[in-house]
A and B are shown apart, each in its own frame.
Chain A
């Protein structure tokens, strides 16, 4: 082992090369974790981050969104992307923070149904732009006071702060909202997981928004068809069931509460005095002591104790589902289907987080093949379909039971629209492309799909019945002539008159009688009958 000894470095030596890495630096090396793993996808993610932020801002300010997106190729594989909204705008001093530092933004610290939550998205888009082209982003913002603040900036990667290149305040234009311009590397395609598809699905899920997209292949306008916003989601404190050790410890150390009991009742959702006392009792901790006096070794006991006592579920009226009307409207306006079935489940809870599932099935007419539209908090999910709880649930539904053709997934001309909203949507990764398969969530999705499938099945059986009735009438008409002729020959009555009588009876009575295969009054073992005829009584 002597030869190896020369290679061994002491911990002290190693420490010289170990240093803190800023979030920005981490992203620089690991951008695939946020989905920037290829040039085609990069364009989509940037548009998505911008549009998601715009829609969130408009909704929070209760403004009907007008979103404008422009994408043009400035040179080979280099694109300029402009995203503009009519939201409330961002106040001047916050602009560098929002766009210039990763993980900034209030949303990460709260539980509320929002499109974005991590404070990562938009600043990562800025990072990606400067990494691939070296170009800064330009941000225009106005809160409607006649002033427009214009910034050109980059991110100082080492320190995770904005590096402002240009800054000015313009006057003379009355507007409110934000416009951001990126110049980045990318490849533009219009296939299944494209910018255009994302915008189209966004329009379906947000029919209260007006979206204009000017892309390399032309201008697309997705018009607003509903002039009301969904109800506003509410913010709630976390529910103790969903809080793990680390977060609990952080909250305990940061609280201003005077006792452990009041810490539990004030910082957590739906946790009353009795429950708080019970948790402390199970953990063997005095509920009256100050949170600061809880020793580290007792924190785990409290977390464990919370799992053993009976808890009240978190409130579920804090969510903002689309509602049947919006789902139906969205599907109708962009897909031109023959029929739409919608199902809204009641809110449910997983790991202490309230969530709600909505399903819409659009069937036929302009729809020619099966497709799933997946949405989480109204944001379309285009990648990693196979890993998503929505797809997995769809594969577990027995579609054939609802007389729908299927090979695991339906093969009918239909679009299966699934929206999950939650104060915290569990994604399988930071790139937010697929929903994690929690059993509670899968169960709700499946129930909603089954109910929607039942509605489609009912509709189709009605259509098929109408077709059958028409076919039936045709059968009755077909044999009228010969029947009338025969009856005429037998009685001497006028054949034409008999035919008219038959037609009259068909017209007035056809609907009253059901078709049965057997002529017999009593059920007969048909197989037996055939056999006997065949073997017992043949002659010629």
Chain B
């Protein structure tokens, strides 16, 4: 069950601070109650086919030296968000970090050392206030690219971007991809292909794969960011476009697909907006090696980390499908993995001219 998200979290932020002050007035150890965001507090929802957040909470208290600094930082992040909301500006999570970074007087210690300290706290606030980073006027670095027959309107910038006319770089997917800031116009595409790697995306763009096959081609450059995942989610839910994912035939590639499809453990509280349960896995698989006669010398031997992670994947509920179990066990059995680039060993255009068309035509997908 997904609760209605709070659009204007200002009241929530104030209430969050008010609670702490009330505890202080009662001479109690100040306590921030936050949802636990890790494997121990998620479940796979069979109905929605998404990874969802459980109801386990953690307590971040002031009178615990292991928490005190984080307690202060959380309060600072909350305060920083409130300031942004009041000023009506949107800023990057990096800006917010620099805005809060300063030296604590007399102690010669920084409030924040690195951005790694502030980013997870933003997620804590999102999850505990049941709001979204987007509503907190925060965005991340833009990372994903899109190309293909669609026009995207951005009212805030008063622009219409024809994504078929974006040249080599494509359309940069904004970090905030909500309907009020990013709107779809004139989509002629029949499906969407998401490739793991920028290099492959470049190849598909250069070969005009999207034109030939009338589709959108996207990449998240590795694990896709929230903007890209939100874009995929909306392209499917609003435009009913089928989603195909194309990643390396290794445990990390499989997990990228998994995050696109059913959401991540860390951001399970927004799986309903970021996950696309109907996405299909197009490739690469280790079984493709035989099927497409890929030379064995371009495969890579599995290392211990791969094998361990493979076992972990087998244990995730959402990987418990016979096709996936078969593929992962096959990988362990043959003892190798391979990258998308390995397809170039056949021919530089093998992926665009033979591999992808055949896969799509034969609907040779993994669920």
Measured CB to CB, the residues of A under 8 A from B are 471-472, 475-476, 478-479, 481-483, 485-487, 489-491, 493, 498, 501-502, 504-506, 508-510, 512-522, 524-525, 528-529, 531-533, 535-540
Contact = CB atoms under 8 A, between A and B. Distances in A.
B28 A481 contact: no
B38 A535 contact: no
27 contacts: A472-B65, A483-B62, A486-B78, A486-B79, A490-B75, A501-B24, A505-B27, A509-B28, A509-B63, A513-B64, A519-B58, A519-B60, A519-B67, A520-B36, A520-B56, A521-B57, A524-B38, A529-B38, A535-B252, A535-B309, A536-B259, A536-B266, A537-B259, A539-B140, A540-B93, A540-B119, A540-B225
Contact of A481 (B17, B20, B104): B104
Given A537-B259, A537-B265, A475 B68 contact: yes
B59 interface: yes
A515 B30 contact: no
Nearest to A529: B38
Contacts of A483: 62, 71-72, 75-76
A526 to B, nearest CB: 9
B63 A506 contact: yes
Interface in B102-128: 104-105, 107, 109, 111, 119
A491 B78 contact: no
Most B Cβ at <10 Å: residue of A493, A501, A515, A532? A532
A522 B264 CA distance: 21
A479 B24 CA distance: 15
Given A491-B17, A539-B143, 13 more contacts: A479-B68, A483-B72, A486-B76, A487-B20, A490-B17, A491-B14, A502-B62, A513-B29, A519-B58, A528-B39, A535-B309, A537-B265, A537-B267
Given A502-B62, A540-B119, A487 B75 contact: yes
Interface of B: 13-14, 16-18, 20-21, 24-25, 27-30, 34, 36, 38-40, 56-69, 71-72, 75-76, 78-79, 82-83, 93, 104-105, 107, 109, 111, 119, 140-141, 143, 223-226, 252, 255, 259, 264-267, 309, 312
Contacts of A487: 17, 20-21, 75, 79
Q: Most chain-B CB neighbours within 10 Å: which of A486, A489, A515, A539?
A: A539
A491 B39 contact: no
A540 B78 CA distance: 20
Nearest to A508: B27
Contacts of A505: 24, 27-30, 62-63
A498 B60 contact: no
Contacts of B69: 475, 479
Contacts of A485: 79
B127 to A, nearest CB: 12
A478 B65 contact: no
Contacts of A516: 64, 66
Given A509-B27, A529-B38, A479 B58 contact: no
Contact of A486 (B56, B65, B75): B75
B19 to A, nearest CB: 10
Contacts of A536: 255, 259, 264-266
A513 B27 CA distance: 13
A490 B16 contact: yes
A502 B111 CA distance: 18
Q: Which of A486, A489, A517 counts the most chain B CB atoms within 10 A?
A: A486
